[in-house]
A and B are shown apart, each in its own frame.
Chain A
Amino acid sequence: AQSVTQLGSHVSVSEGALVLLRCNYSSSVPPYLFWYVQYPNQGLQLLLKYTTGATLVKGINGFEAEFKKSETSFHLTKPSAHMSDAAEYFCAVSEYSSASKIIFGSGTRLSIRP
């Protein structure tokens, strides 16, 4: 069985500061890992994903995440926060196969202070 744990339901940073959203996963098979962003009353938008290959994955809007198998982590970072980054962020995992269901973490709400 797969699972995802996001540490911190709410993270607040100042504009221009580093953003770090933590995610740890559990999977019995090589995982696909994802970060999604959700703005209020909207669906989910894919920020980035890890499937195979390079462990440092770059996504949209300046976000990146690093897959660390030894730590079973996939933390999301952005060097400099922007006001428009305020949203809900979900880490997710699926099996290393096609058309698999995705299991989501509980989400982290990111707030940006002026």
Chain B
Amino acid sequence: GAVVSQHPSRVICKSGTSVKIECRSLDFQATTMFWYRQFPKKSLMLMATSNEGSKATYEQGVEKDKFLINHASLTLSTLTVTSAHPEDSSFYICSASIAGTGELFFGEGSRLTVL
């Protein structure tokens, strides 16, 4: 099956710094990728839809300037958490879709801890 890889799997940073999380589709091209945030013991909340070569579409309530998304190629999307604060600590998961299938393949997730 299709493989989506996230890096890093865990990251700890100081408050005020920026952190970049990468999401790669390893064996297919993904024109669309999605970023989710998951709070402890909660469901996945869609943050934004990332389209290759264009601006991301953010869900209501998600700060565009806080969570920068770049989808520069058909196999890579990045999420940058800018000026991170402890409340940004969470599990971030990306997914990528193979066109025509309606199915998403998920990365392993990245756990961000902001001290």
**Chain A partners chain B:** yes
B residues less than 8 Å from A102 (CB atoms) = 34, 46, 95, 104
Query: Which of the residues B42, B97, B107 comes within 8 Å of A99, measured between beta carbons?
Result: B97
Interface string of B28-64 (1 = CB under 8 A from A): 0001101000000111101001000000000000000
We find that the number of chain A residues with CB closer than 8 angstroms to chain B is 27
Segment at the interface with B among A13-21, A42-50, A62-70, A75-83: A42-50
The reply to whether A99 and B32 form a contact with Cβ atoms under 8 Å apart is: yes
**B82-101 interface code vs A (CB 8 A; 1 in, 0 out):** 00000000010101010111
Using known A-B contacts A41-B109, A43-B93, A98-B97, determine if residue A32 contacts B42 with beta carbons closer than 8 Å.
no
With A43-B109, A44-B93 already in contact, the answer to whether A103 and B102 are too (CB < 8 A) is no
Which residues of A lie under 8 Å from residue B32 when comparing CB positions?
99
Contact B103 A43 (CB under 8 A): no
A51 on interface, CB distance cutoff 8 Å: yes
Main secondary structure of the interface of B (DSSP, over half): strand
Our pick among B49, B102, B105 for the contact of A32 (Cβ within 8 Å) is B102
Number of B positions contacting A (CB below 8 A) = 27
Tell whether, in the assembled complex, residue A43 and residue B108 are in contact, meaning their CB atoms are under 8 Å apart: yes
Contact partner of A90 (CB less than 8 A), chosen from B44, B46, B107, is: B44
**Contact at B34–A101, with CB atoms within 8 Å?**
yes
Contact B44–A94 (Cβ < 8 Å): no
* A to B CB contacts below 8 Å, 24 in the list: A32-B102, A36-B106, A43-B106, A43-B108, A44-B93, A45-B106, A46-B103, A90-B43, A90-B44, A94-B102, A98-B97, A98-B102, A100-B97, A100-B102, A101-B34, A101-B49, A102-B95, A102-B104, A103-B46, A104-B43, A104-B44, A105-B43, A107-B42, A107-B43
